[in-house]
Structure formats: structure tokens, C-alpha cells
Structure 1
Amino acid sequence: MPITLVGSLRTEGRTWTSFAGRNTKLRWTVGEQRQHHESGRASERKRVRKNLAVTLIVGVLAGGPVPPATGATGVAPEFEPAPIRWGQCGDGKLRRAGAECGFLRVPLDYARPNGRKISLAVSRIEHTSPEAEYQGLMLVNPGGPGGSGRKLSLLGGAVPGAAGSTYDWIGFDPRGVGASRPALSCEPDHFSTDRPAYVPDGEGVERKRLRRGADYATACARAAPELLEHLSTTETVEDMESLRKALGRERINYYGFSYGTYLGQVYATRYPRRVRRLVLDGVVDPRKVWYRSNLEQDLAFDRVFARYTDWIAEHHSAYHLGRTGEEVRRRYYQRLTELDRAPAGGVIGSAEWTDIFLRAGYGTRGWERIAEAFAALVHEHDPEPAKRLYEAAHSQGDNSYAVYLAIECTDAEWPKRWSTWRTDHWRVYARAPFETWGNAWYNAPCRTWSAPAGDRLRVSGDDVSGALLINQEFDAATPYSGALEVRRRFPESALIGVRSGVTHSGSLSGNACVDDRIAAYLADGELPERKRGDRADVVCAPLPAPDPGSEPNSGAKRRSEPRTTQPTVLRTALRSARR
């Protein structure tokens, strides 16, 4: 295809030309967002990132590759990664599945490709189909941000009808995460039990929580100051592009869950002609990255909490916690107040209690176990089931939390004035008390984060040939409105909506209405027919909620029976990527 001039942009005294057609050598690299200078480094990085956002938008609107960002030294040279040296995986499940493991070496700062390198942990399960049916690479990301994705090379085995067998499935731990080196950790015992309460109903609680958030931000700045300045969505996008190059493919296929859907959106915006097939499950709204999206989550989690307590009431004969949802909710908040005064077993206070129930907001799997812990504490004064749930949720230290903050705090600006946070969160709390303040304090380190934030990028899928979006109607972590917005921005996409579903990123979990359409898309590129209007193109029913039966212990018996086809290791990987 001939290269056609479609527009130009003058920045920093230089004129850059945007072209339509094949990729040219004029390419920006994300590292140029964070140019280092001997003096004025933070302000210079901020200026360059703003210029980069402008050039990205202009390039996308023009329909061609984006001109490079520039600094004092001009255009940064393009990075060419070395091939990955594959070997045996240390993880037993990956090894038994026939996976290979290795490390991809990439620049810490893409503006300095010959400078310091970091290592990304990668796994691969190669296609088993005949070569004539081979469809290329399938990169997978579990979300978080901060989720370890190395084990998700196993995901191909969960696709119905062997449709996954025609791809090489690539799992990877993003920069700073898991087995990648260096991995970020700031305070390994940050989630130890008996923490301060969440709701700041007194100056003492607010003061403690503000100090706790600021101390965590300081600990991260001390732990890895250089790494902290190079953990962002756009830099992970450049790592994905390096991974594509290292594996020697012209295009990638991509499957992203939760935050991984935003990563896919940004990659598709930056490299639309490198995208072949795109599956996004639990779709992030790119307009609200990230302060606004967290406020919207608070309202959504409250809705799912109400549905969960209604479910507990429906099974009163199993749990004896109330015959109506309202009665169950009153009992929950009564227990919350009591735990503020006297933590159960000396360790489960109101903050830990909230975190245990937050797991119910991510989907119906686990509803029985949480209800059993609730009943054990109320009826038998036994905190052990609750302690086990809390410890399981936070058994892996703070790596995923530290990277979560490093990305969310720097992808876009957060309010610096605490008065703004206080006003916004008390306003939302009046409507949604369940998780609002827990979420506020979880993100509070962003207010004093040391690495500078950039400007939110404008996502566009105009040049992407197709995408399959999946979202459940009452998904709390990624509300349904985000899927509709991305459907508008990706005109060749199709959306599968799960009516009344509450599970976050629940594809390939045994719902044939959803999973069979994913398989069809991966097999031959077949998307559901796009309907007119702002709505889903296919509507599926959710998987049924668990039925604990009429006896208190029957739920425990049922848990040993698999309800889905999704491999346990994949459920664990996805769960670890969610808060």
C-alpha cells in the first residue's frame, strides 16, 4: 500500500509528518515520556508526556502512525529485543502442561534502549494444531494492575472445541510483577491484621489512615525509585511490542481481563496494525482512568453487596442470618461496629471484615464460604473461618498492590488536596457505605506518590479490524457502562452482555452462551452481528448462583464439586489479580 501524507504536527520547533499505510520508522517510544535531565526532571517529564499525549491523539485521528515525542536529544532509537531463550518452567503446573519459560530483556527506560535492562518472566504453550491451521501468538493479561500472568499460558486449554489449540499462548509477568526482575515490594506486611478502621468517623482514624497511605508511598519511593518512574500502562504496552518482536511475529492476538482490557485498548491505539484478534473481558472505561473509575466502583460494589445479602436471606435455612436482605445487611453492619471495638480473635477488625466480604463483590464463586464464616462468627463466636479467608487473600505479600499503585498513580493525575477526596468519598458513602472508604484508603498513596503522573490517553479503535467485548451487567469492578463506551470507540467490535450477572471477568468459566462465541471468534474471526444502537450485540444469561441446600454444612460439600470448566490455576491467577 502506498504511503500517503495525511497531516503534520509542529512541536518543539520541529515538524513531524503523519502517514497512513504501513508502519514507518517514525515511531514514538513510551520511554520518551520520562526523559531524564540533570535538573528539573519532574517538570520536564510532565511536559514531554503532555506533548506525547497530543501527538498520540493527532496520529490516531489522522489514521496513521504517531510521530515521535522529542526531548533535548531528538528521536530515541528503536529497541530491538534479543530472542527469548526458552527452558524448563519451575512451576509444576506449567511444566506438566508442556510450557516453556524464559525471560525477555527490555529497557527500563525506552528512551535509553542501551541503558539499564530489566527482565520479564514469560511462559509459552505452543500450538498443537497442524501448521496450516496455526493462527499466531495469543498474549494474555489477567488484570490488576499488578496481576501475575505467567500461568495464563494455560488459558488455551479452557477454550471450547479445541479452538485454542491453533495459537501459541503467551503468559507474562509485567514489569515489576511476580517473577519478573526486579519485582516491586514496599512493605511486605502492609496487610497484616488488626489495621485501622476504614470509615473515618473521627479525626483519629482519618489521621492514622492518611499517615499510613503516605508512609506506603514513601516506602515505595525508597524501595525502588528508578523502577517506580517506569511503571505505567504505556510502558507495559512497549513491553508487549518488544515481546512481539522477540517472538518474530508481525501481529499478535490478545486476551485481556479487567485492567488487562485497558492494556489491550492502549496497545490497539498505539499499534492498531499489529492487532489481529482482540478479546476484552470486564471492560475498563477509558474515560475514567483512574480516580473517577474507583468512585464508580464504590456504587457498583454496593449494588452487588445488596444482591449477595439477598442471596444469604434466600438461604436462611442454611445460615440463619436473616430472612430478608435488609435484615442480613443490618446484622453485617452491626458486626462491623462491634469489630471496631473488639477485633475477633484479636485480629479480625472492621477493615479485615470488609475485605473478606469484598471478595463476594467479584462474583458468586465463594459466596458460600463467606456466608459460612459470617454464620460461624455470629452464632459460634468462631473467628477462624474468617481468619483463613483473610489470610488466603493476602498471603502473597504486597507485590501486586505496589505495582497496582505504581501504575494507577502515574497513568493519570489524582487530586492532591485531601479536601477533594474527603468531599467526594463522603458524598458517595451516603449512597454506598459498603466499600467506599475501603477503596479510598486503598488508593490514598496516589495522593503523595513520588513518581510524576502523565495525562490520560485517548483510546481509539478506529483502525482495529475487530474486537470481542464481554461484560456482565452488574460487574462491580468494571461497570457495564465501560463496555458500552469501548464498543462505541471500536466500531468493528461486538459486545456480549451477561444480563443480571455479577461476576467480574468470568469468561471461559462454563457459560456456553459466552464461551462458544469466544471459541468461534478465535477459530475463524467470526463476531456476533453488530446491532444498531448503544447496547449489547448478544445477551446471555449468567451461570446460576450457588445453592447451599437446606443444611448449614451442605455448602462445604458442594464446593468440592466443580461448577465450571475453567482450570483451577487460572481461577487462582485471575483472583490474585483482583483486590
Structure 2
Amino acid sequence: MRTLAALAATALVFIPALVVPGTATATRGIDWGACTDQSFVEAGAECGHLSVPLDHDDPTGRQVQIAVSRVKHKVPSSQYQGVLVTVSGGPGGSGLPFTTLGSQVPGRAAEAYDWVSFDPRGVGASKPALSCDPGYMTHNRPHYVPRNQADEAAWLARTRKYAKDCGAKNDPALLANIKTTDNARDIDLIRAALGVRQVSLYAVSYGTYVAQVYSALFPSRVRRLVMDSSVDPRDVFYRINLNQNIAMNRNLRAWMDWVARYDSVYHLGATPSWVRQTYEAQLKKLAAAPAGGLVGPSEMADAFIPAEYSQASWTTVAEAFASLVAGDWNPVKELFEAVQGPGNDNGYAVYLATQCTDVRWPAKWEQWRADAWRTYRQAPDFTWLNTWYNAPCLDWPVQAGTPVNIDGTGVPSALLVVETEDGAEPFPGSIEVRKRFPGASLVALPGGTSHATTLSGNTCVDSKIADYLLSGALPARLQGDRPDTTCAPPPLPVPAGA
């Protein structure tokens, strides 16, 4: 389930919001102090760390530190709605950028809550932070699509070494305790440290799976629950990635269709097939001679991932593509570096530490290979990219566990939101979550291809979120496995000069 940390954080900029030394005061187990991020300061946030057990089965044993932030409510106590915890995507996405998310809720709904955000264990400002090989996401890597046995062997050697480095450079006990269940239990300790009986949750992308697990483990402690772009609990995580390959590839084709409409701006082809030919020609050119010795076909494929996640990225990716065709490869290089973050593998290390240990993956490379080539026939642009991204799970140094059975019958209500052509978390996942949460209502955006876009200015969606947070009001639940109401997705972007 490749939800890149930079994208899963919904494009919010992350600057570690560490406590200023000497300003902290102890409050119910959290050492609160001043934040250093200016946007957090302007929002009136406070920041701190909470000590939690490394192993929740050994509560008095070794501890790790969870970085936490809070923006307090601004309404009278008679209107106070309690604590709302935001749950970030990934796995591996920083949660602290969501500190200011409440400011995007229309009306006064956000002011009725304490908005609490956190970096999951191993991530960002939480301590210790995982890292395995900061140079792994480097330039000019092997060709994603194996052209021969040597390409396949090169990637298997790379992924095997990454898994080995993770085991060598990190405490095995830490690697064994970064499961989704650990994140869910950390949320419950945040709740306890804040001295409240219940919390509301606002979860996006992978964070929706954390919320599902929390709801299964602690149903009576969930007050209200918003899930944007829900993980399909049936398929964690190997089959989710196979499904994602097809959905992401479809969205790349949708972007190419859009590019063709604006050939007068981008000059990449006046038909989708022409744009496709231009794309494939550039891949072949870079395979023969990486641009600047840095940007090969694998880097180009990664640079185009934002277009598969969000229509808001379509113009940026198209401009970089046009520059590449015109001979300037720097914009594609910059996009690749923004997506993969060479020199910092924290998000990727945590992604694998969670997904590889939440559930057992197929143990034989032969099955991975067969499934990849089968899926490749439908999704040639994303399948092998995603296969190699997850392949360290073949050799992960700690044992996998058993996933929690997701049962939302004990949760009184939930609001689900999804764009029906979401590539990262395909639409059937939200339908399945709705089935498992009888108190849930699902808002669908038909035809939208973007991922995790709530509170980004869609009045129809955002007003429903505000109403639910303020009063608990939900769209009426309909019969059958379908959305309960719809909102129009944002209009497609129009490039400058069109």
C-alpha cells in the first residue's frame, strides 16, 4: 500500500515541532512546551513527548517517545466536544503537520475540539526514529521492469540488502513493535495521558487502518470517527498492493488523457495514444542514457507518481514532462527527489517495518514474480515500481504477526469519504469499511481520482465533516453496499495559457 509519506501528509510541510528545552511542564504524562514550527506557534499549539512502552505487552519495560502536538479548543466549556486525534497516512507519514488541520474545517466546529496530532513511533520527531540506508533512494537505479535476469537479480540484491541493513542498524525489539496495533495502542495511551474517557479520530489513508484497528480494540473509547480514503481490511497488505497497481496505472492514463487536451500548452501529443508514445519514448531514451547520469527510467516513473495520487499535481507533472522532452531534465529530477527524498529513508523504513510485520507476506519470490507479471498486463506503468518498493518484506529481519479482525459494530457512528477513482486506496475498500461499521455513512465523489483530499476546499464535503464533528449528524444510510450520498469532485485543473 504505497502511500508515500510526502503525499500521505496531504502536501503539508513538515518541520519537526520539538519542545524548546527548559519550557516544558508535565501535564498528565505529556511534557508540554513551546513548539518551534512557526505555523504551529501561530495556531496556538503546544508540543511535547509522551513515553510509551516499546512493547505494549511489557508496560513497565523499555519506553519510546511519541512526539505530540495540541491546539486547544476555543469555545466555552458548555460547547466543548472533547479531544480529536488526527491519524496520518503512510505507514511512515509524519502526523505533526496535521497540527493546523482544524483551521481548515468550515465554521466553528474545529474550535470545539482539542486537536491532537502525533508522529507515530519510529517517525520524524518521535524517538528513536528508524533509518536503514539513507542512500537507498538514490539516482540512476536499475530498470524497474526486468528486461532480463540481470535486472531482476540486481533489484533482489538491493531489496535484500535493505532488509539486512534494517536489521543490523536498528534494535530488533523496535523493529518488532511498529505494527498497526502498536500505533493504535499508542493512541489509547495519548487518550489516557490527556485524562479523557473517549476520543474522536480524524484519519486519512493508512491512518484509516489504524483507526479501524483502534475501533476494533477499543470500541467504547471512540466518540466520532472520520475516515478519508479507507484501507480495505480484507486485503492487508500484499493484495492491496496488487489492487493499487491497477488503480494507479488507470489514473496515470487519466492524466495522459488530460495532457492530450492541452497539447497547445504542453506539446506532448494531441491524443492520449500520442502522449503515451511520447512517455514511452522518454523511458527508452533514459534507459539507454540516464539524463545527467542521474535520471533513468526508474526515477522518471517515480517522478510521475504525484499525478496518480492527485489531480492537483497534474499541471506540475505535465510541466516537468514537457521540460524533459525539451531537453531540461532538472524538473523531473526535482520531482523524483520530492517524492522519494534521497538521503532520508525514515518514512520508507517505517513503512516496511509496519507492513512487513502486520501480516505475513508470500515467502517465495516465485509467487511475487508471477503475480507481478500477471498484474503488469493491466498495469505496466506501476506494477514493478510497487513490487520492488515492497520486496524487502521477503527478507524482513523480524517475524510477522496476525492482523486484527476489523469489526466496527461497537462504534456508534463514522463518516467515510472517498473519490471513486482513488488510486492509492481503491473505492471497494471504502465500501467494505462501510459494511463493517453499521453506524457509518459514506460520501463518494464520483469520477474523482485524488487521494485523501478532505478539508481542501470542497464545500460539499467539508460542510458534511463540520456538521458531523459539531453535532454528530450524518447523511442517511441507504440500503445495500453503496455510497449514502455524493459530492462532485473538484473540477479538473486548467493549465496557464490554455
* Range of TM-score over shorter length: over 0.9
Report the AA paired with residue 182 of structure 1: P
**Of residues 347, 353, 361 in structure 2, which corresponds to 1:406?**
353
In structure 2, stretches of 5+ residues that fail to align are: 1-26
Give the distance between the partners of 2:323 and 2:292, measured in 1 at CA. 13
Kindly state the Cα deviation for residue 394 of structure 1 after the two structures are TM-superposed.
3.0
Please state how far the C-alpha of 1:411 moved relative to its aligned partner.
0.7
- Using the alignment, how far apart are the partners of 2:262 and 2:411 within structure 1? 47
**CA contact under 8 A between 2:28 and 2:194: conserved in structure 1?**
no
Equivalent positions of 1:140-539 (< 5 A) are 140-224=86-170, 225-378=172-325, 380-395=326-341, 397-539=344-486
Choose from 75, 79, 90 the match for 2:36: 90
1:399 Cα offset (Å): 0.3
Deviation string, structure 1 residues 366-410 (Cα, Å, up to 9, x no partner): 2111111111111x2111111121222233710000000000001
Q: Distance in 1 between matches of 2:85 and 2:135?
A: 32
Give me the whole-angstrom Cα distance separating, in 2, the residues matched to 1:142 and 1:235: 14
SS at match of 2:311: coil
- Once the two structures are TM-superposed, the CA of residue 192 in structure 1 deviates from its matched residue by 1.4
Distance 2:496 2:45 in 1: 40
Amino acid of the structure 1 residue aligned with 2:39: K
Once the two structures are superposed, residues 167-197 of structure 1 have per-residue CA deviations (whole angstroms, 9 ceiling, x without a partner) of 0000100100000000000111111111111
Q: Which moved more, 1:395-404 or 1:535-544?
A: 395-404
Q: Which residue of 2 aligns with 1:133?
A: 79
Amino acid of the structure 1 residue aligned with 2:111:
S
Partner residue, 2:5: none
Three-state SS of the structure 2 residue aligned to 1:168 is strand
For residue 26 of structure 1, what is the aligned residue in structure 2? Answer: none
Displacement, 1:82?
Answer: 5.5
Q: Secondary structure at the match of 1:288?
A: coil
Aligned residue for 1:249, secondary structure, equals: coil
- Counterpart of 2:33, as a letter, is G
Q: Which residue of 2 aligns with 1:24?
A: none
Tell me how far 1:513 sits from its aligned partner.
1.1
Matched position secondary structure for 2:242: helix
d(CA) in 1 for partners of 2:301 and 2:447? 24
**Structure 1 vs Structure 2 CA RMSD:** 1.1
Offset, 1:344: 1.3
Aligned partner letter, 1:495 = L
- Report the number of matched residues: 470
What corresponds to 1:124 in structure 2? 70
1:114 is matched with which residue? 60
Q: Which has the higher contact order (CA 8 A, sep 6+)?
A: 2
Code of the aligned partner of 1:315: Y
What is the CA–CA distance in structure 2 between the aligned matches of 1:513 and 1:457, rounded to whole Å?
A: 34
1:417 is aligned with what amino acid? K
Query: 2: distance between equivalents of 1:490 and 1:270?
Result: 14
Matching of residue 99 in structure 1 with residue 24 in structure 2: no
Q: Equivalents in 1 of 2:372, 2:52: separation in Å?
A: 40
Radius of gyration: which is bigger? 1
Cα distance in 1 between the residues matched to 2:206 and 2:151: 31
Q: Scaled by the length of structure 2, what TM-score is found?
A: 0.93
Distance 1:119 1:175 in 2: 7
Which position in structure 1 is the counterpart of 2:19? none
Instruction: Write the distance in 1 (CA, Å) between the matches of 2:241 and 2:135.
Output: 24
Question: Is 1:545–2:492 an aligned residue pair?
Answer: yes
CA distance in 2, matches of 1:373, 1:498: 28
CA distance in 2, matches of 1:83, 1:108: 16
TM-score (norm 1): 0.80
Q: Deviations over 1:403-454 (max 9, x none)?
A: 0000000111101100000000000001110100000000000011011111
Distance in 2 separating the partners of 1:299 and 1:172: 32
CA contact (8 A) 2:225 2:415 kept: yes
